[in-house]
């Protein structure tokens, strides 16, 4: 195991300035242009030691556990050293670690796409599968993402000889230095498309209209987004597709209203039926349901049908259907009906018009609010 401090000839408590001075001195002395090829390994070791000790975080890891701590911590020690070494030996070969990095594959990931799906309340209650038509970037049907015209293919770049990078030689304090940069002709790919596909203009994708099926779980809410991985816009030059996000929109139902996982509705009952009691049948999302109206049911009374509400998105099961009774008072009476009501009022001792204010917490409005809230 190498001792980086010994390699640079400094104490373990050396300052950053002392480490830098020691490195510069040894680098000048051991550079191959000065020491010859036999000094290459020592020069490499000095650069390696400096790369670690000049980085505060890497130095802490090394001080705690040596080279094993550097590798275990996933640090960038040797990555940084490789950059330095490539600066001196880039393109020289000879197995000293300074070779070219190779071409960059073509293809960039496509952008994500956003579409909306409009649901009826019944579809929210049970969940559904929707088919959505939308336009986005899709793979070119002619070149299938290769970007080249049919019958042709990319050829090696003559400027970088297919490596994807070009070298530049400059003179410096340490002598002649070789650096690498991305090839300006092939943009680092190592190949050039001489005859681009005419349908997609060499991009590998075109605008398409497609239909996508999405499974919508029960209990989704307005504005929620469902992610479909890899079904968004196709990537450029054959790259992977982005994701498709489906944003939920919910139509208002003419009868039922949603309150979290519950459904609410209002049932109008004639005054006589509310007074005498009756059984009525109502249409729900689960089909016809019989509801018993007890005799003397007041307006605002809430009848709960358990498990007939909205499917719960995360907990499973369903909420309840809450039916609020609204007693309908007759407004148009003929003479016979009026006579009967007057007779009833006389029998109940209500022949004189009477009315009274009630306390707020006992009013029909507060009762209705509490019952809908489940209190």
Q: How does pLDDT run across 219-235, given as a tens digit for each residue? A: 999 999 999 999 999 99
- Is 200 assigned a ligand-binding role in the annotation? yes
pTM, whole model, 2 decimals?
0.61
- Is 265 assigned a ligand-binding role in the annotation? no
Residues contacting 123, CB < 8 A, separation 6+: 130, 216
Per residue in 234-264, pLDDT (tens digit) is 998 888 999 999 999 999 999 999 999 999 9
pLDDT of residue 47: 82
With contact defined as beta carbons under 8 Å apart, do 300 and 322 qualify? no
pLDDT of residue 374: 60
Per DSSP, what are the bridge partners of residue 263? 258, 321
Look at 92 and 52; give whichever has higher pLDDT.
52
- Is 147 assigned a ligand-binding role in the annotation? no
Kindly tell me the number of DSSP H helices and DSSP E strands found in the chain.
Answer: 10, 15
Res. 74 pLDDT band, cuts 50 70 90: very low
Using a pLDDT cut of 70, give the percent of the chain over it. Answer: 79
Instruction: Set out the domains of the chain in order of their start, with CATH numbers.
Output: 4-89 (1.10.287.110), 113-150+193-250 (2.60.260.20), 155-191 (no CATH), 257-372 (2.60.260.20)
The long-range contacts involving 288-293, CB below 8 angstroms and separated by at least 24 positions, are 291/267, 291/323, 293/269, 293/325
- Is 197 assigned a ligand-binding role in the annotation? yes
Using a pLDDT cut of 90, give the percent of the chain over it. Answer: 46
Q: CA-CA distance, 68 to 54, in Å (whole number)?
A: 18
3-state SS, residue 197: coil
């Amino acid at each position: 195991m190498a001792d980086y401090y010994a390699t640079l000839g400094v104490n373990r408590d050396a300052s950053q300035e002392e480490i830098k001075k020691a490195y510069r001195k040894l680098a000048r002395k051991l550079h191959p242009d000065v020491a010859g090829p036999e000094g290459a390994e020592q020069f490499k070791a000095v650069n390696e030691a400096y790369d670690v000790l000049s980085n505060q975080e890497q130095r802490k890891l090394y001080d705690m556990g040596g080279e094993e701590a550097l590798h275990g911590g996933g640090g960038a020690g040797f990555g940084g050293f490789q950059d330095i070494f490539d600066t001196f030996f880039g393109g020289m070969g000879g197995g000293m670690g300074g070779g070219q990095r190779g071409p960059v594959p073509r293809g960039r990931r496509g952008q994500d796409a956003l579409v909306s799906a409009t649901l009826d309340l019944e579809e929210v209650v049970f969940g559904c599968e929707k088919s959505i038509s939308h336009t986005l970037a899709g793979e070119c049907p002619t070149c299938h993402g290769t970007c080249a015209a049919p019958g042709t293919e990319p050829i090696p770049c003559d400027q970088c000889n297919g490596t994807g990078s070009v070298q530049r030689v400059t003179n410096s304090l340490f002598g002649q230095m070789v650096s690498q940069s991305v090839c300006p002709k092939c943009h680092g790919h190592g190949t050039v498309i001489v005859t681009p596909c005419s349908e997609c203009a060499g991009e590998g994708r075109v605008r398409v209209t497609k239909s996508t099926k999405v499974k919508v779980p029960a209990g989704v809410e307005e504005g929620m987004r469902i992610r479909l991985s890899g079904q968004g816009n196709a990537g450029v030059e054959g790259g992977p597709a982005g994701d498709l996000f489906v944003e939920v929109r919910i139509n208002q139902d003419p009868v039922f209203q949603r309150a979290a996982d519950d459904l609410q509705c209002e049932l109008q009952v004639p005054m006589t039926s509310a007074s005498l009691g009756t059984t009525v049948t109502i249409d729900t999302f689960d089909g016809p349901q019989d509801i018993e109206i007890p005799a003397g049911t007041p307006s605002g009374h809430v009848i709960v049908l358990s498990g007939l509400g909205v499917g719960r998105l995360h907990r499973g099961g369903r909420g309840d259907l809450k039916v609020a009774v609204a007693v309908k008072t007759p407004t148009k009476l003929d003479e016979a009906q009026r006579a009967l009501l007057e007779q009833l009022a006389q029998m109940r001792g209500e022949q004189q018009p009477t009315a009274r204010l009630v306390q707020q917490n006992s009013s029909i409005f507060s009762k209705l609010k509490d019952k809908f809230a489940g209190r």
